[in-house]
Every structure is written in structure tokens, then in C-alpha cells.
Amino acid sequence: MPELPEVETVRRRLGPVMEGARFERVILRRKGLRRPFARNFAGRLTSQTVCALERRGKYLLAGLSSGETLVMHLGMSGSFRIDLDTSQTPRGDDDVRHDHVVFRMSSGAVVTYNDPRRFGVMDLVARGKLAQHPAVGALGPEPLEPAFDGAALARACAGRRISLKVALLDQRVVAGLGNIYASEALHLAGLSPRRRASTIATPAGLPKPDAHRLAEAIKQVLREAIARASGRRYRSSRFRVYDRNGERCRTRRCKGTIRRFSQAGRSTFYCPDCQH
């Protein structure tokens, strides 16, 4: 599933063709994705201008001139294609049959949402109601914002008996972090994914040095990923530990071997020699 760096990359690609542009036509090729589209979804978008395209966690938020917000999530397999030359023929049946939503923008671009597994989400949220949205409203701090630091992370983990890795996957703890970059950050910070989350905080919820180190590691791995993200596929050569089971640890002077185990139904990769 795309995580914060991949979604941020998509936002940066869509921004130039959507921000400041109107929806001239909205084509829906099915009744919904993971959930049905909102009532009169296409009609409520048509003729509206995208005032700003932002990201919140793993969600894209398009603020509209109507005051509503178009909320979009890529799910497991969603992606956007931008066509500037609309005279070109479609790429082929395999692509077209998964093209579920088409936005014709006044910028001249055709933005097509493709999703083979249809786990994505598109929703319209009324003016002033975004904080009450069941998913977006519950998101924790943005990890790349100044407000996210060791103290914020410690407060969120204080008293929690679950493992540190599972805590990081909770979007209420930190928004946008997923399985890949949680493993990467824990390795960079030298912290075991098996550790209890509460161990990075004092009983009063104050940060221990590990909390500061982990918060900085989260920021670093996300910034590095954004800088190199293609948004198309994950390659294990990019990562410190993710998808590198059985390979040598890349930490300087460490002679450990990367191992894999399952946590909360997901694969965790770590080095038992340098993560404690």
C-alpha cells in the first residue's frame, strides 16, 4: 500500500494540472470504489475549482471553490494517470478496464484514476466537516511537521503495552507511516520492533532519548523516500531492511543478518544484532 512518501509524490504530480483548474467533466465508470460514491458526486464536482491540493497522512485533499473537500485514498493498488494529449488512444484493454474515474480539467489535462483492486476511496466532505470525517479526522500528527518530535511520540506511546512497531502503524500515533517506513525508521534508530511502545516514555509520558532518536529517524527515512520516490513500485535496493531477509545488515560495523517475522499480520524486517 502506498505510504506517505508515495502519496506525497502523487500530490506533487497532480498539483500543476489540478490546482487552480476547474472540473469540466467528471466521468464515473462504476457506482463506487471501496464504498459507493457520495450522492451526486459528479455533479457536485463539475464546474468547481480546485483551490488547493494537500496531503494528510495517506490521503489527498482537494479543497474546492464550493467549500467542500474531495478526499481521495489510493488503497492497495490505486494510481492516477495524467494525459495532456487527449487525442492519444488508450493504452490497452488491461488499463482501460480499471479506469474507474476520469477528471477532465480546464487546464487541458485528463486525470484518470486506475485501481485494479478497487480498495481506493473518493469522498466529498461538506464545508467545515473535515475534522469529523471518520478517517481523516482521527489522524495523528504529520511526521514532517515541526510539531512532531520525540515528546509528541512519547505522549502517544506512553502506557501502551503493544509493540513499538505496531504502535507506529496506528495512524493516530503518526499519520502516513506504514509497514515499510516503520521498519526502516526502527532500524535507523537502532530500536527493536518487538519492544513495548511504552519503553520510549517515562511513566509520566515524558520522552526518553529513544523517543527523540526514533522521531528523527522517522523524519529522515520519509524525507529520503520522498526525494527518490517514483510512486510506481518498491525496490528492496532502496531500503535498509525492508524486503531484505537473509541479507547482511548495512549498519556500519554491524555483522548481523536481516530477519523477517510477522507482526499484526504484516511482515517486519529487522537486524537482531543492532536493534535493541
Cell of 18: 489540478
**Catalytic: which of 58, 160, 213, 240?**
58
Please give the average pLDDT of every successive group of 10 residues along the chain, which has 276 residues: 94 98 97 96 98 98 98 96 71 72 97 96 95 95 97 98 98 97 98 98 97 98 89 63 97 97 96 97
Q: Which one is catalytic: 3, 8, 19, 68?
A: 3
Judge whether 190 and 200 are in contact, CB under 8 Å. Answer: no
> Is 2 among the catalytic positions?
yes
Position 231 scores a pLDDT of 44
The catalytic residue among 118, 238, 266, 272 is 266
Please give the pLDDT value at position 88.
Answer: 53
Q: What is the pLDDT of residue 96?
A: 82
Domains of the chain: 4-138 (3.20.190.10), 150-270 (1.10.8.50)
Active site residue 161: no
Which residue among the candidates 2, 5, 143, 207 is catalytic per the annotation? 2
121 in Cβ contact with 75 (< 8 Å)? yes
Q: What is the dihedral of CA 183, 73, 9, 12, to 10 degrees?
A: -150
58 catalytic? Reply is yes
